Amino acid sequence: MPQADTPAMSNATLKELSAQLAAKACSSVELAQDFINKINILNKDLGCYVTVDAARTLAQAQAADARRAAGNAGTLTGVPLAHKDIFCAKGWLTTCGSKMLANFVAPYDAHVVERCDAAGMVTLGKTNMDEFAMGSSNETSFFGAVRNPWNRERVPGGSSGGSAAAVAARLAPAATGTDTGGSIRQPAALTGICGLKPTYGLVSRYGMIAFASSLDQAGPMARTAEDLGLLLNVMAGHDARDSTSLERLAEDYNRDLAKPLKGLRVGLPKEFFAAGLSADVQKAIEAAIAEYKKLGATVVDISLPNMGLSVAVYYVLAPAEASSNLSRFDGVRYGHRAAEYTDLLDMYKRSRGEGFGAEVKRRILIGTYVLSHGYYDAYYIRAQKLRRLIAQDFVDAFRHCDVIMGPTSPTTAFKIGEKSSDPVQMYLSDIYTIAVNLAGLPGISIPCGFDGDGLPVGLQIIGNYFDEARMLNVAHQYQLATDWHQRAPAVSQG
């Protein structure tokens, strides 16, 4: 078999790689080795991957080639991807970006990993992330900050920053991520790739280390909307092991990609274009909306009156759930255990004190406080009531429009360390994404331009419940008319 052209392989989309493998233009082993070579060169500087196991990856690739030779390959058999290090993968180090789990080797596979393995996909490694998915910049990881491939002095966003940076730098054609308050969409926007947060319950959380269980949702990250659909076809599906997993008939999320957008009603919330939005970001979003008008869409002015409360509501509910979920990390059965302690209680204190980073401790303390006697009604219950109002705003809005559009992030990628000492400013990075998680809705971010410093801008498209196919259609038609998603940082050619 002739050796495939290396740059063409690493710059190809999932769809293109699938076609190359089917045409025998390259083998899965060659493809995997190409990405391993690039990871070995660039990862030390970018910090995208926490764990790489070339022998394990190549063994999976060999099995995929054998499966193709036997004639029982699927669409994505032999295609590589990276997994966010929040997903348990049997035999792989699974750290969740924390010292607490720095030595934990998962004894089983997460549902998402099982589905990808069953499809014959090849795992390139586990990607870096904010510790226990708590962060918006990928600076809270025990293993160090991830750097944005477009500018290495900037953050890639978080918490799925390692996955986003890996896809942007062409160190993986696609990756899995998780989105609790915007952690797929915001890093996708800041790195110039596509990221999709599905409807809550569409993708099983089994084997995904929990942060805030009523908000966490796994989803795909890739370079095109079409690739997101291909990967979502693999990831989605009912799982009896997850009580929040929804029983729905399987569907092809790319079935409507070719549909024209004539008659599409695009809702523009006035709250998305208020104070705090960067002028460069607003300009790019307005240009994208103008392109949609050319494609046949009509614009409807709408309002989400309670959206301004979403950050406050989120930072009551998410820490409350985190304080409960993270109580299992106590140094007893797995994870970090302090070397010296006097008794059981002291072991708990020392192990958790040493194992958790500052942001995780902050959120555990906040969560414990709002759940404590005397404050539960004042904070937690009130936040749940406001969450219902936020969700109702979307229900009302979708009576007048088919999708909602606006910026994914109020700014482009900020400098590493710029917001580390100001948690409130960091939290406001997710002001446009959090409400979607509180409502359990699907959302997607796609590239739509650049700011004056050459940093990517992301357009957010929010759909109604289970409307992923329509969102992907809307995104795909825009990508047929523009080339923002084809732009690549210079480092990707390294």
pLDDT tens, residue by residue, 436-490: 999 999 999 999 999 999 999 999 999 999 999 999 999 999 999 999 999 999 9
Q: Tell me the one-letter amino acid at 426.
A: M
pLDDT of residue 493: 67
pLDDT of residue 3: 39
Tell me whether residue 159 is one of the annotated catalytic residues: yes
Which residue would you say has higher pLDDT here, 217 or 427? 217
DSSP H helices, 428-486, are 434-439, 468-481
Contact criterion met (CB below 8 Å) for 309 and 353: no
Tell me whether residue 361 is one of the annotated catalytic residues: no
pLDDT tens, residue by residue, 243-301: 999 999 999 999 999 999 999 999 999 999 988 999 999 999 999 999 999 999 999 99
pLDDT tens, residue by residue, 303-353: 999 999 999 999 999 999 999 999 999 999 889 999 999 999 999 999 999
Beta strands in 212-291 (DSSP E): 218-222, 265-269
pLDDT of residue 60: 98
Nearby residues of 409 by Cβ (< 8 Å), 6 or more positions away: 157, 186, 189, 190, 281, 429, 430, 432, 433, 458
pLDDT of residue 4: 37
Closest CA relative to residue 316, chosen from 395, 375, 359: 375
Catalytic residue among 84, 99, 126, 197: 84
Phi, psi of 463 (to 5 degrees): -110, 170
pLDDT tens, residue by residue, 18-38: 999 999 999 999 999 999 999
pLDDT tens, residue by residue, 96-132: 999 999 999 999 999 999 999 999 999 999 999 999 9
Closest CA relative to residue 195, chosen from 171, 224, 235: 224
Catalytic residue among 183, 351, 429, 445: 183
Q: Which residues pair with 447 in a beta bridge?
A: 458
Contact criterion met (CB below 8 Å) for 410 and 277: yes
Catalytic residue among 137, 159, 160, 409: 159
Domain residue ranges in the chain: 6-309+385-493, 310-384
Got the DSSP string for 88-105?
Answer: --TTSB--TTSGGGTT-B
CATH homologous superfamily for the domain 6-309+385-493: Amidase signature (AS) domain (3.90.1300.10)
pLDDT tens, residue by residue, 382-432: 999 999 999 999 999 999 999 999 999 999 999 999 998 888 889 888 999
Q: Tell me the one-letter amino acid at 32.
A: A
Q: Which residues pair with 49 in a beta bridge?
A: 127
Contact criterion met (CB below 8 Å) for 29 and 55: no
pLDDT tens, residue by residue, 133-180: 999 999 999 999 999 999 999 999 999 999 999 999 999 999 999 999
Tell me whether residue 351 is one of the annotated catalytic residues: no
pTM metric for this prediction: 0.96
Which residue would you say has higher pLDDT here, 217 or 494? 217
